[in-house]
Each structure stands twice: as C-alpha cells, then as structure tokens.
Structure 1
Amino acid sequence: MCVSGVCEAGCADRPTPRCCPGRNNECVERSARRTVCYCDTYCRRSGDCCDDYQTVCHISAAIDCEVRQWGPWSPCSSVCGAGTTERSRQVATPPRNGGTPCPDLKQRRGCLAHTETCSAAKEVAKILSDSFKRNFKDPWRRPHMLMKEEKKSYCVQMRVKQASAACKVKPWSAGLVRERSVCVECQSEAMTTDDRCRGDGLQNIRTFWAAASAPGCSGSWVRESFTENCQCPSYSLIFI
C-alpha cells in the first residue's frame, strides 16, 4: 500500500491468502522502509496488525468484555471459626474480535463465623460406658426427698473420626476407633436445663469428646443422626 509515493506494508499487498487464521509468523508483510506488520488473527492481540487489516480481512472492530456489578458475599463456609466466603459477577458483554478479555468473575476471602451453633461446636462431650449409670439408684436418697423429674432419653449416632492411643487401656473405650459408628444416649440425669446433654454434637460437623474414666482418652466425632425417646443398645455409651 503506497501513500504519497511512500510504500508501507499492508495486507492488500500479500499474495493469496492475504489473511491467516490463528498465529502465523509467516503471515507478514514488509515494505521498502523495513516496517513489519502482520495479517494473522493473533495480530489483534499483539497489536502489530497492518493498517488495512480490518478492511482487507473483513474484521469488525474489537469489542471489549464488560461485566456486571459484584453480587453479595456468600455465607461463611464454617459455622464456627475460620472459613471462606466468596462472591461472583456475570459477563454483560463477552469480548469479540480481539477485544479485552474478561477480568476475574469470582473473588474469595477469609471469614470468622460466630453463629448460634458456635458454642455447641466447642463443647467437649464427657462419655462413659452405659454400664456405669444405666438404672443407677442413689443409695443415699431418702424416700421423702424430692426426686428429680425423669425425662425421656434420646440417642445420637456418632462416627468416630479420631481417638487417642490411651483409649486402648480400658476395655469399654478400646472400641472407640476411627470410622466406627457408636450410639451415645443422653439420659435424664445428664441433661442440662435445656433438656440436652453437653457435647451431643452437631449434624455432619466434627466435635470433640473425652472418656471420663480413661485418663488421656479423647478424640473427635461427627453426629450422623438424632433420635428422640430412644435408648441405645447394651454396651453403648452415655453422656455424663
């Protein structure tokens, strides 16, 4: 392509094919002034297209990506303590013809959760074998003394996730091994004023326990189910 007697490189001066798809370093034109330009699709990204590239190659003008406003942050991924939260945004106009690519569509940051269940997640359950207290009768209670109201027991099924080596010392606690499912009963004597046993866990959330009569025996578990008006089978566990 020549203007005022000065010839510059141009796609129109190339032999067929004048325009090349993708990235093609051979799709180049040189002028007598040694200027170099390209007629491949990649030149729109690298910014070295020949002046007549859009006209000769029938390329529309570049359209940059446009995005919408950020959406709200999601709830914290943890119900208690450190977790993550994220937000996202949508593409309003996708890039075309070599326009500016879209920026990040998602953001993530840390968060610290303090939900109503947070205090329950921090409770450590104190447990014993059911043989310690089932049908226990207080020998010191006189007949005329006010008896504590008897409340119906409930059961929670726990899956052990971790147990210390000290649990192997006692026969009843030796069964607390990783991935074993155990039934733990909350009896009336162990209930607090809100009719529950401390440390009875949260559904599908890891909480912690300690064996009352086995020093050093402790670990973590996850509650799998909760059953009202229930008694665990013999040789199970109880909250204390």
Structure 2
Amino acid sequence: MPHGRLILGGLVPVLLSLFLWAGCPSGVGASCGRAGYCCQGRNNTCYGYGTNLAGEGNSSSRCFCDEDCTRMSDCCIDYAEACLAVDCEVSDWYNWKPCNNPCGLGSQERRREVTRPAQNGGRACPVLREKRACIGTNDEECLQQSVEYQGKELREVARILPAKYGAYRSEKKYDPFQDHLRKNLYGRRFVDLRNEILARTSYFAKFEITDVKHGCNVTAFPWVQALRTGQTVCVECQPTIMKKELGTRCEGHGVWRQETRWRAVHVHGCHGKWVMQTKHDEGTCDINGNSDFILI
C-alpha cells in the first residue's frame, strides 16, 4: 500500500460493512468523482483507483478519498473537485459571563459554538472560548462572601515600596534595569518579561492603616513616615508582579473591608495591618504621592 496505508485482511469485510453503513461506499475501480463519494476523517476503505495528487500511480493503483489523504498525500487526482473543502463556521460570541469574583479582581469568559464543522480539509474552527480579567462590583454578594472564600487573601502579606519605584507605567516596553534598586528587587522576573507587551492594566485600592510596629518609627527611610495608624494610603498592583497561579493578581492585594497585613520592603521591623476601604479598581496610584505604594 502506498504512503504507509494499511488494511488488515481479516478486518476488511468488517470495515467495509461499517463503511457502507455510514453512507460512504468503498473503492470500486473509480476515482472520487466517478464513484461519487467522500469520507470524513481517516478511512482506509475509502479509495478508488488511479493517479494521486502527487502524480504517482496508474489505473490499477489505489488512491484515497478520505480527509486524511491530504496529509498522507495519496488523494485521488480529482479529490479537490469531487470533495470540495468546507470551512468551519461558528456562531457569534455569547455575552460575557459574570465576573467569578464579585468582590475584586477575577476572571470571566465567553463562548461561541460550531454551526458547521470543517469537512474535506477545510479551514479548522477558530477559538471557541475567550477569557479575560475583570473586577467584580456586586456589593451585596461581596458582603455575603464567606471568609473561607477569601481565606488565602486574608493570610497573605503585602510587600510594599513607594509608588515612585514602579516599573510599569505608560510604556508598554520598558527597561527592567533602570536603576540598581529595581534590578535587585525584581531580578530575573524582569529579564523574562522585558520583551513582552503586557495587556493587563494595573489596579489599585485604598487602605486605612490600623497597626504599625515600632520598627517604622526608628528607620532612616523617609518614605516610611506615611505609614502611620489612621493614615489612608493608595496601593497599586502592576502587571509585572501579577501571578497567574493566583488568578492574575498580586499577592497580598487585600480583601475589601477586612484587615490584612503589610510589610515595608527592606525596612527592618517595619510592618503592620490595614483595612481595605475601597474595592479594587483599574488604574494607578500617584507616582509622586507620599502616601502611594506599589506591591512587589
């Protein structure tokens, strides 16, 4: 058999009977057009006789009329005309499903369906499902959300730096080693991302500080002075720090109206607690603000 086609002798009668039952006759000394049939998928019993598309064979050589013949290069010479390719067709997109997190950053998806499958080597179906990040805004559901659902976020610690050290602003491509501090803080993560155009935008929330440890009062870092009990600060999550395994979000980004912990990076003993006062919203904090920070 040409091109590695194999039909086991003992199985031929069974295959032929199944093939005929499915409405696709077996080869009987004719090309696809003369026999008047085409077969879906791979079907070694779907053949005629004659020259194939590669110009090989003669009147007694088998050539095939199944979809797989295009890949095997053993189609009958009239396959393209007799078995016209039919491209896949799909429906319009359905509406986006609700955000899977009613209380902050989450994801949502939409789908579409195949209305006509591809046949005879036609164009394959396009993507049938899309997914995107979203921010839930359902206050009622958010208030009813259980602590168990938010448990991971409640246990996380936010590691913060002043917003002026943010690496991702309006530029889609950026230098990961703009200064020595960023190089040490972000290291290899930026090397992996420096040629990538990031589509996910930053998001932020406002936090009221409820507890500050003694280490914040004895440090020489001036930016720590904004971290005082009762102070409201803006905290931003940037795309370069988002983790896919956490649902495309920053670690320690907080839980609305719940107390979580924070830590000032590279400031020994400076940590505390805060309460998230506003829900996550797309946007950035003030890069020049004294009470504006980024998560790392």
Provide the TM-score with structure 1 as the length reference.
0.48
Structure showing the higher helix proportion among its residues: 2
Structure showing the higher strand proportion among its residues: 1
Between structure 1 and structure 2, the one with the greater Rg is 1
Provide the TM-score with structure 2 as the length reference.
0.39
